[in-house]
Chains A and B, each alone.
Chain A
Amino acid sequence: MPEKFVTRGFVGRRESAGTQANRIPPGQHLVKDFPVLSAGPTPRTDLAKWTFRIEGLVKEPAQWTWGEFQKLPAQEFVKDISCVTKWTKLDTHWRGVSVDILLEHVELDRRAAFVTAFSDGGYTTNVPLPDLIDGQAFVAYEYEGKPLAPEHGGPARLVVPHLYFWKSAKWIRGLRVMDKDVPGFWESLGYNNHGDPWKEERYTGD
């Protein structure tokens, strides 16, 4: 690997981690803002037409309208999040419904092992089922006390904070329960099927 040419005086706009350093996964740096990254145009879904669905290897699919979804038991979550593009943001505040609660409304087939999250605009991402349960994931519709903004995935997005944030599908419309791990939008082009930031599982084969 050729030696990098160091540019005099350049440090980049990075926050010093200081006492928080142990909360920052390897190769990441701290940010205070909330960068917007997107693979496509921001969908603008009419809430009157919005539904959230759990389908696939379940006995009966479950589906909620926006009004019904809002009536599900919701919680406040405070989480650290890490993007594969190397920024980490600490103590992000969300409100939403735990995936555990959503899965209570379906009966999982015994072959169920993986989930494909699917979104408006065609984005998909694959997550192993064990990474979505036991309080590890939720569908969020509020961020920092306000309705989730469209550029950050509103009206609702998946949040799986212990994995790289490309797994936290914006504009989510449902979860498809599978017996196979089917690479999603970024996974099919070189990103890791699992995505644990503490093991730096960024790319396929990491």
Chain B
Amino acid sequence: MKRTLEWQIATVTAIKPETAEVKTLTLRLPDWTAHRPGQHYDIRLTAEDGYAAQRSYSVASEPERIGEVDITVERIPDGEVSPFLLDTVVVGDRFEVRGPIGGYFVWDGSVGGPLLLVAGGSGVVPLMAMLRHRAAAQVSAPARLLYSARTYEQIIYGPELDMLAGLDGLKVSYTLTRQQPPGWKGYGRRIDDAMLKEVSAPLGRDVLAYVCGPTALVEVAADGLERVGLPADRIRTERFGPSGT
């Protein structure tokens, strides 16, 4: 299905803080098309003198929400675009967007499961679109999310993940790599083969895996999943650039 990719002007209709360095912006799109969870939009910002910067942001929301998309933005220290989106943009602001883009790192209910999602930091964003869609479309295939974050405070979407995990067939495991709160019962180390084996084993050999996050984590996790027995063609990856502290 061919569609020409055109720029359109999105309007910010809501801004929600997620963590100290992360916010979600809701964008209303005049020419909205249902995206597949995992796809992204390109954003283009232009200064008065014509200087422009462009970045890609994964859609965080489910396609069942018509006419708008959520993007979740993490502050990159000394970044050019994220500080603008986090500190300057207000409800009512508009900027150019183009999308939805991508066909490789996507999942929706029609693809089937079971589903293993591995997230590092802000890599959880496209995976959250998959989980929100899974809930909205009432997909029954079992799913697990392994989410690596530096500290408990840096977990994005925590309360909502707890709620989704209470629903049918989703288990969420966290690993906090820098610091764990007192009484922490989750993992407390960088992702390794043993951890991947524990989270993937209950899902069986038909599992589809999606790994998203900083490049180094994606490499470790994707290689690890192959070593614990997943076929390479059932592992899809998306690498994000350097992330915040």
Contacts and interface: CB of A to CB of B under 8 A. Distances in A.
Given A5-B96, A33-B78, A10 B9 contact: no
A8 B90 CA distance: 10
Interface in A1-28: 4-14
B53 A12 contact: yes
Contacts, number: 46
Nearest to B92: A8
Interface string B61-78: 000000000000000001
A6 B9 contact: no
B42 to A, nearest CB: 14
Size category of the A interface is: 10 to 19
B95 A7 contact: yes
B51 A9 contact: no
Contact of A12 (B9, B80, B94): B80
B51 A29 contact: yes
B110 interface: no
B198 to A, nearest CB: 32
B84 A4 contact: no
Contact of A9 (B7, B9, B53, B84): B84
A12 B9 CA distance: 19
B4 interface: no
Contacts of A11: 47-48, 51
Interface string A48-90: 0000000000000000000000000000000000000000000
A9 B51 CA distance: 13
Contacts of B179: none
Contacts of A12: 45, 47, 51, 53, 80
Contact of B9 (A5, A14, A29, A33): A5
Nearest to A2: B7
A7 B51 contact: no
Nearest to B8: A5
A6 B46 contact: yes
B3 to A, nearest CB: 19
B78 A7 contact: no
B80 A7 contact: no
A11 B89 CA distance: 12
Contacts of B88: 9-10
Interface string B14-54: 00000000000000000000000000000001111011110
Contacts of A5: 7, 9, 46, 94-96
Contacts of B7: 5
Interface in B83-128: 84, 88-89, 93-96
A10 B47 contact: yes
Given A12-B80, A13-B80, A33-B78, A7 B50 contact: no
A156 B50 CA distance: 36
A10 B94 CA distance: 11
B243 to A, nearest CB: 16
B98 to A, nearest CB: 12
A128 to B, nearest CB: 31
Contacts of B47: 6-7, 10-12
Contacts of A14: 51
Contact of A4 (B50, B80, B89): B50
B43 to A, nearest CB: 9
A8 B48 CA distance: 8
17 contacts: A4-B46, A5-B7, A5-B9, A7-B45, A7-B46, A7-B94, A7-B95, A9-B84, A9-B93, A10-B47, A10-B53, A10-B84, A11-B47, A11-B48, A12-B51, A12-B53, A13-B80
Interface of B: 7, 9, 45-48, 50-53, 78-80, 84, 88-89, 93-96
Interface of A: 4-14, 29, 33
4 A-B pairs closest in CB distance? A13-B80, A10-B45, A7-B45, A9-B88
